[in-house]
Amino acid sequence: MEQGELKVVLHLKVGRARIGVQDKGTDPVVEFLEAATLEELLAAVPAVLQRARERWAQSPQNPKYEGPPPPPPPTPAPRPARPAQPREGQMTRLV
């Protein structure tokens, strides 16, 4: 893989750390670690980067998301039956 622009993001918060790495033309790889200090977090970066490069060698980008097919269109509600027409001379019921 060509050495390009490498981005490394470190996030440390009360004993839990996140390391994100991304090379040009690849999807980011993010790992969570238990780290008490910044020095421990920095010491873990080379191993995370190595695992990311191995992953990028297999597949630089994640597969494109293919969602489920759209649901079928709703069936129209049945139309109410038309009331019978009163016969001539018959009264129409209103209620």
Q: In what order do the strands lie in the sheet with 6-13?
A: 6-13, 16-23, 29-34
Query: How far is residue 1's CA from residue 44's CA, in Å, rounded to a whole number?
Result: 22
Residue 15 forms part of a structural domain = yes
Residue 48 forms part of a structural domain = yes
Sign (positive or negative) of CA dihedral 27, 31, 35, 39: negative
- Each residue of 47-62: pLDDT tens digit? 999 999 999 999 898 8
User: pTM of this prediction?
Assistant: 0.61
Sign (positive or negative) of CA dihedral 8, 11, 12, 15: negative
For residue 36, give its domain range: 6-58
- Each residue of 20-43: pLDDT tens digit? 999 999 999 999 988 778 888 899
Residue 69 forms part of a structural domain = no
Residue 78 forms part of a structural domain = no
Counting the structural domains of the chain, the total is 1
